Amino acid sequence: MSQTQARAVSRAKPGRSRADGARSRGRILDAAEQLLSERGYAGTGIAAISQASGLPASSIYWHFKSKQDLTGAVVERATERWVEALEASEPGPKAPTDAIVAWISRSIEEMGRRLPFFMRLSLLLGLELGPREPALMERLRRGRVLIHRVVRGSLERVLAAEGIPVDAGLADEIARLAMAFSQGAFISGVLEPESIDPGRIPEYIETGMRAIMEARMAEVTS
Partner DNA sequence: ACGGACCTGGAACGATCACTACAGAATCGC
Partner DNA sequence: GCGATTCTGTAGTGATCGTTCCAGGTCCGT
Residues that bind a copy of itself (CB under 8 A): 38-43, 120, 122-124, 126-128, 130, 132, 137, 140-141, 144-145, 176-177, 179-185, 187-188, 190-192, 195-196, 204, 207-208, 210-212, 215
Phi-psi region of 95 (alpha: psi -120 to 50; beta: other; left: phi over 0): beta
Number of residues that bind DNA (CB under 7 A): 32
Min separation Cβ 142 and DNA, Å: 22
The answer to whether residue 34 forms part of the interface with DNA (CB under 7 A) is no
Residues 6+ apart with CB under 8 A from 16: none
Q: Tell me the C-alpha distance between 12 and 105, whole Å.
A: 42
Q: Taking CB within 5 to 8 Å according to partner kind, which of DNA, a copy of itself, none is near residue 79?
A: none
Exactly one of 29, 32, 36, 55 binds DNA (CB under 7 A); which one?
A: 55
CA angle 129, 127, 86 (to 5 degrees): 105
Residues 6+ apart with CB under 8 A from 7: none
Q: Taking CB within 5 to 8 Å according to partner kind, which of a copy of itself, DNA, none is near residue 99?
A: none
Total residue count of the chain as it appears in this document = 222
- Residue from 158, 206, 159 nearest 182 by CA: 206
Min separation Cβ 59 and a copy of itself, Å: 24
Q: Tell me the C-alpha distance between 84 and 217, whole Å.
A: 32
The answer to whether residue 22 forms part of the interface with DNA (CB under 7 A) is yes
Where do contacts with DNA occur on this chain (CB under 7 A)?
A: 2-4, 6-7, 10-11, 16-22, 24, 44-48, 55-59, 61-63, 65-68
